[in-house]
A and B are shown apart, each in its own frame.
Chain A
Amino acid sequence: MEVFLEQLINGLTIGSFYALIALGYSMVYGILKLINFAHGDFFALGSYIGYTVLVFGSAFITSHFGLWGGMIAAMLVAAFCVAFVGVVVERAAYRPIYPAGRLPAVVSALGASIFIQNTIMVIWGPRYQAYPASLIPNIHIQLGNIHITLLQIVILVLSFFLLGILYWVIQKTTFGAAIRATALDKDTASLMGINFNRVIFFIFTLGPALGAMTGVMVGMYYRQISFTMGWNYGLKAFTATILGGIGNLPGAMFGGLILGVLEMFGAAYISAAWKDVFVFLILILVLIFRPTGLFGEKVAEKV
C-alpha cells in the first residue's frame, strides 16, 4: 500500500509535468494543425534559464527571497523569457511558412527545435548541469510509512494550480471559447470579430511560458538537467497529447496525468527499465481501439 501511494504521488507529479508541456503541443495543434516540435525545447530552455537565475542570484535569493521565493522567481523569469522566444520563433520560423502548407511548417518546427537545442548547448555546455542543492528546499515529510518531500507537494499543488487556471481560461471564459472556436473554424471565428493573430500570440506566449515553468520545476525535482531533455519530455508530452486526443485541451491534461501514473506504476510493479515500453504499449492499445484518443470524441454533427 505504501508503494502504491508513493508511486501514485510520484506519478501524478511527473504526470502534471507532462500535462503542462502537453498543453503547449495541443494548443498549437488545435489552432494551426502544426506539431510544434520546438515546444519540448522551450521547456528545456526554461529549465536552463531557471538554473541561471538560481545560480547567479543565489546570494540575493537566500538573503531576500528565501528558497521558495527563489523558486518562484526562477519560474517567473524563465516563463517571461521563454514566452518571448516563443513569439519570436512563431514570427521567424512559422508565420512566413503557413501559406506553403502543413508539411513545410513541420520541417521548420524540427529546424527550430534543433536550433534551440544547439543554442542551449553552446551557451550552457554539452554536459549535465545540476540545480544547486543549497538552493532547493529539502524538507522531508512522513505520513505513516509514506516518504515524500515538501518540494514534491509544492510542485504538485503548483502544477495542478496552473492546470486549473488554464482549464478555467479555456473552458469558462469568452476568450477561451474564442480559442476553441478558432480551432474549429478559423474563418467563422473571424466573422465573430475574433482577431486570429491575437489568438496566435496568446498560444505562443502561454504555451512556452507553461513549458518554461515546468522546466524549472523539473530541474528542482530531479536536480539534473541536460540540453537534450526537451526531446525526452517533449516525446512523452506529445504522447500524452495523442493519448488524450490531440487538440483537446482537457484531454491533454488528463493524458499527461494518466501517462505519468502509468509510467510510475509500470516502474514499480513491472520493471523500471521497461517503464517506457509499458507507456507506449498503452498508447498503441489506445490508438488501436480509440484512434481519436481517450477524450477526442467528436460530437455527431447534423448537416
Chain B
Amino acid sequence: MAPLLVVEDLYISYGAIEALKGISLYLDEGEIACVLGANGAGKSTLLQAISGIVPIRKGTITLQTDVLNNVPPYEIVRKGVSQAPEGRKVFSTLTVEENLNLGAYTRKKKTDEVTEAKERVFTLFPILKNRRKQLAGTLSGGEQQMLAIGRALMSTPRLLLLDEPSLGLAPILVNQIFTIIREINEQGTSILLVEQNAHKALGIAQKGYVLENGLVATSGSASELQSNQKIQEAYLGGSALKNNK
C-alpha cells in the first residue's frame, strides 16, 4: 500500500532565506513519525508547508494520490489533514466550545459527525467539557494545548500534524499529553509529530527524522535513533543519560 503522506525533495524559502533545502520523508497509514531538530531547523516550516500556509518553491507533497502543492489551506483540511500549531494558537476571545466548533468548520453540514467528534474530544480531555463555556484565553497552558489538539481532532482527520505539543508544559502534563497522543493514534489517526523533546517523541513514534539546517540529517526507526550515539549526544542529553543508567 502506498504511504499516507509523501514529501519529496521539498524546498521552502522565505525571501532569500532557505528554510527547507530538499527534504524527503514519508508516513504510513496508522503510524506516528516524529520530526526532531533544534530551533530553526525547519520543523515548523515543514508542517506549515503540508497545511498549505507557506508556498512550496520546489518538490511535492502528496497525500495518498492527491498532490497538495498549490492547494489552499482550507481545502487541505477538507482532504483530512489538520494541525495543532506551535504555541497552541487557540482563539483566545472565543469560548472553548466555539474553538472546537471551528475545528469542525469543514464538517458543519453533518451535525451527527460533529457531535460524535466533540464527544471523542471530551472523552480524551474531560477538563475541556467542564470549561466549554469559558474563554479559551483564560485556560492554563496545558489546557490550551489540549484544546488545540482537540480542535484539530474535530475535523476527524486522517493525518494529524502536531507542532511541539509539549512546549512550555510542566513534566507531569508532558507525560499526560504524550499518553493522549498515543491514544489518538491507537484510535486510527496517523500523526506527524514535531518535537524538541526527542526522548518523549521517540518513545511513542515508530520512526523519526532529524532535521538540521533545512535538511534531513538522520532518519530511521525510533529504536535505531534512540541508540544512535550522535542523536543521544545532540538531542537526548547523551552523557547525562548514560550516567543515569
Contacts and interface: CB of A to CB of B under 8 A. Distances in A.
A184 interface: yes
Contacts of A196: 74
A300 B92 CA distance: 9
Given A174-B102, A191-B85, A192-B151, A181 B91 contact: yes
B92 A301 contact: yes
A184 B74 CA distance: 17
Contacts of B78: 193
Contact of B102 (A194, A301, A302, A303): A194
B89 interface: yes
Contact of B98 (A177, A190, A301): A177
Contact of A188 (B89, B101, B141, B168): B89
B73 A190 contact: yes
Contacts of B138: 299-300, 302
B83 A191 contact: yes
B137 A302 contact: yes
Contact of A193 (B74, B85, B141, B168): B74
A248 to B, nearest CB: 9
A177 B92 CA distance: 12
Contacts of B190: none
B101 A184 contact: no
A302 B141 contact: yes
Interface stretch (B2-10, B33-41, B103-111, B117-125): B103-111
B72 interface: yes
Size class of the B contact interface (CB-based, 8 Å): 20 to 34
B140 interface: yes
A195 B51 contact: no
Given A174-B101, A177-B102, A191 B93 contact: no
A39 interface: no
B101 A299 contact: no
A13 to B, nearest CB: 31
Interface residues of A, number: 23
Given A184-B92, A300-B138, A192 B108 contact: no
Contacts of B108: 174
B94 interface: yes
Interface string A180-210: 1100110111111111100000000000000
B146 interface: no
17 contacts: A174-B108, A178-B105, A180-B94, A184-B91, A184-B92, A184-B93, A188-B89, A190-B74, A191-B77, A191-B82, A192-B106, A195-B72, A298-B93, A299-B93, A299-B137, A301-B137, A302-B144
Interface of B: 51-53, 72-74, 77-78, 82-83, 85, 89, 91-94, 98, 101-103, 105-106, 108, 135, 137-141, 144, 151-152, 155, 168
Q: Which 8 A-B pairs have the closest CB atoms?
A: A193-B77, A193-B106, A299-B137, A190-B73, A188-B89, A177-B98, A195-B74, A193-B74
